[in-house]
A and B are shown apart, each in its own frame.
Chain A
Amino acid sequence: MKKSNMKKSKFEKKLFKQLGSLPKAEKIKIIEYYNELYLDQKELGRSDDEIIAEWGSPSDIALKVLNEDAEIKLSENALKDGAELILADGISDGGADSKPDTDGAETPSAKAGDGDKRYKEIYERFKKKLGIGSEGAEKMANGNQEKQHGNQEKQRGNILKSKAFWIIYFALFYVTIPLTIALLAVVICIAAAVLAVFIAIFATDAGLIFGGAGGIVIGIITMFFNFNDGLLTLGASLIALGVGLLGLHIFGAVGRLFKKRKIEKKQ
């Protein structure tokens, strides 16, 4: 029993690893799916070897799952591209405007142009399904624009990776290098200023806490010599300590909030 459990868990670990590019939650769902199949088949009296042999290797399963996922996405895009082609060929127009195939075969559009209403109705329905028509065409046009924008963004990224860019950059040595240094200096100064502000706030808070604590001791001692002065010192020190502790509490709350957001982001 122990051996068969190890086999199954080994299989699951391998499968989990092979599903590398999928999100963790998705991988867990797939493992749970196979675990359920495993338990159902064990109830029917099948052995681990039989069950796992039927599934195939974890790498084959992972490949299939990942390919199916990719193909679904590809086919959605291909469907849109195919619809574009049909539009470009003018098949959707039908009738006299359509061009026949080069081998002279009758095209579906010509068939529609011949007045075959039923055939046209069927094609209209397919067009609707493919998203062709004024709405569909607009959608595709917008989609193409987005594609072009995406391609432009890619091109910008590629420029930085190209050697030519860097050759030109260093060739204009007298202009680009000092400018880069100046920009870096500005960034470092801003970062240092922000850090200095944080340190100052923290140092002030620490000063208030320690100063307040020390002041309380001094205040109590002073009260034995000069009650009024001692009481004043004690009161001021208590206020300073309170403000310092409040500041510490705020720091802690902000820190916990950032930590929580970090954990939520990771998930």
Chain B
Amino acid sequence: MDAQMKKGLLDACVLAVLSREESYGYKLIADLKDIIEISESTLYPILKRLEANGCLTTVSREYCGRMRKYYAITKGGRHKLIDYKLDWVQMKEIYGKIFGIGD
């Protein structure tokens, strides 16, 4: 898959996973690996960017005597996810017209 296209997809994938339930680093990677190829070093900048854009929020909670960071989707993140879904519909239409697929 094209690297640039994959980057755009990763944001959508992270938000989609977090829309089901809040999650933490390792679990997020494990869930995402079922959908798309991703590494620990790839995930970090995505989380950072999404947090900076207000699409997700973080909270530290105690877990087995240590603090663990949990990521949760925000209202802005859910709106962004809807945008991604709409983009997918439009892209599907454009690709369909370009390559004569579908309809």
B66 contacts partner chain A, Cβ-Cβ < 8 Å: yes
Q: How large is the interface on B (under 10, 10 to 19, 20 to 34, 35 or more residues)?
A: 20 to 34
B45 contacts partner chain A, Cβ-Cβ < 8 Å: yes
* Pair A125/B90 contact, Cβ less than 8 Å: yes
Which residue from chain B places its CB closest to the CB of A36 in the assembled complex? B25
How many residues of A are in contact with the other chain, CB < 8 A? 28
Complexed CA–CA distance, A69 and B39 (Å) = 16
- The contact of A37 among B40, B48, B90, by CB within 8 Å, is B40
Complexed CA–CA distance, A125 and B27 (Å) = 35
The 0/1 profile, CB within 8 Å of A marked 1, for residues 34-60 of chain B is: 000001111011001100000000000
Q: Which of A115-141 touch B at CB < 8 Å? A: 118-119, 122, 125-126
* Pair A75/B4 contact, Cβ less than 8 Å: yes
- The contact of B26 among A41, A68, A75, by CB within 8 Å, is A41
* Pair A56/B41 contact, Cβ less than 8 Å: yes
* Pair B41/A64 contact, Cβ less than 8 Å: yes
Query: Contacts A36-B25, A37-B26, A39-B66 hold; do A72 and B44 have CB atoms under 8 A apart?
Result: no
Q: How far is the CB of A191 from chain B (nearest CB, A)?
A: 44
Complexed CA–CA distance, A134 and B97 (Å) = 28
Q: How far is the CB of A239 from chain B (nearest CB, A)?
A: 58
Complexed CA–CA distance, A126 and B83 (Å) = 12
List of A residues within 8 angstroms of B4 by Cβ = 75
Query: Contacts A36-B69, A122-B90, A122-B93 hold; do A72 and B24 have CB atoms under 8 A apart?
Result: no
Q: How far is the CB of A160 from chain B (nearest CB, A)?
A: 37
Ordered by A's residue number, 11 sampled pairs between the chains whose C-beta atoms are within 8 Å are A40-B25, A40-B26, A40-B68, A55-B39, A64-B39, A68-B42, A71-B7, A75-B4, A75-B7, A122-B90, A122-B93
**5 A-B pairs with least C-beta separation:** A40-B26, A68-B45, A64-B41, A61-B41, A122-B90
